[in-house]
Structure 1
């Protein structure tokens, strides 16, 4: 088991992000947050292809990096200083048989960046609007068909 764990850590470390490639760091953080490129693009108001090219960029201007960091729910510095090694270290120290107690566990960001109830209400409202548009289209279709029948 210990050998398997070491092999896994070695694999992650061998594919770790380069320290200077900010786009790869953004990509990795986005993946760890469970966010797809499309979702990040929607939040930033850009296309998915723009997010893809952003994640391939080695350097990104500060203003754009700030916007990305805000959407990802981290600080600009967290993106700049991100490393797989630190992530592995934190996971090992906080979750693998650590008997230090809950007070020593470092939690970086457990706050939601949105209110789930607001998103639920928003989804419900969008569903209602979609239903109303569908109903309107059906009424127009029925009216058109009745008009065609009246002409015959």
Structure 2
């Protein structure tokens, strides 16, 4: 891989990393504002930021490779309908485990996952919108942005 190709790949995957990190930061801040204990807020924020950043970079990389075509929303929406609930499940289970409630799934796990899948659609819309504005020519990622 040439330096130009690495720079292009970094430019394409960076927004996915940034979007995940910012989502985790907002989660922690909102939890603090809502009155959650600091340990809970910080742990929850980190345990959401890491998987969302990883999934965001993965989505960006799939767009770079052409497997998820820019400008077509359905494949990216499907990706986030699966990825977002997994990130939220990681956050829920991990936060309970780290803060001291032990290893436990959220109440009604299938309802939780279904609701998170619906939220994942909204996350997909925001993800595409932000990524296509941060990456010049983001809708045509594979074609040489």
TM-score (norm 2): 0.29
Q: Which structure has the greater CA radius of gyration?
A: 1
Q: Which has the higher contact order (CA 8 A, sep 6+)?
A: 2
TM-score (norm 1): 0.28
